[in-house]
Amino acid sequence: MGRSQAAAKAPLSPLERLRRARALRSAGRCEDALVLLDALIEARGHRYRAEAYLERGRCHRALGDLEAAKNDFALAASLARSEETAQQARAALEGL
């Protein structure tokens, strides 16, 4: 198996999943993004849970599920490891 084939079959890292979910949301494919984000949130031992909740909240908001968005933004704010993520989550909450 060549290097590119092995890379294609390798599981995505948490950061790659988050980036892919963001790209899907930006392309209007929130349902597909939610599948990746749910799996990312369920996975333990990585540092991107707050960002995943923030992104999932954005998807829920785009789909009109404001209660789910509110819950995800609140979780993102409470789990945030960076002030930038916390600020984005709080701003998203205020914007609902």
User: What local confidence, expressed as pLDDT, does residue 4 receive?
Assistant: 43
24-53 pLDDT, tens digit per residue, is: 999 999 999 999 999 999 998 889 999 999
What confidence score (pLDDT) does residue 9 get? 59
Q: What is the CATH number of the domain that holds 33?
A: 1.25.40.10
CA 42, 40, 14, 82 torsion-angle sign: negative
Domain range for 88 is 3-94
Region at 12 (left for phi over 0; alpha for psi -120 to 50; beta for the rest): beta
pLDDT in tens, 39-94: 999 998 889 999 999 999 999 999 999 999 999 999 999 999 999 999 999 999 99
Rg (C-alpha) for the chain, rounded Å, is: 14
Q: What is the pLDDT at residue 11? A: 81
Q: Say what the pTM is.
A: 0.87
Calpha distance 12→33 (Å, rounded): 14
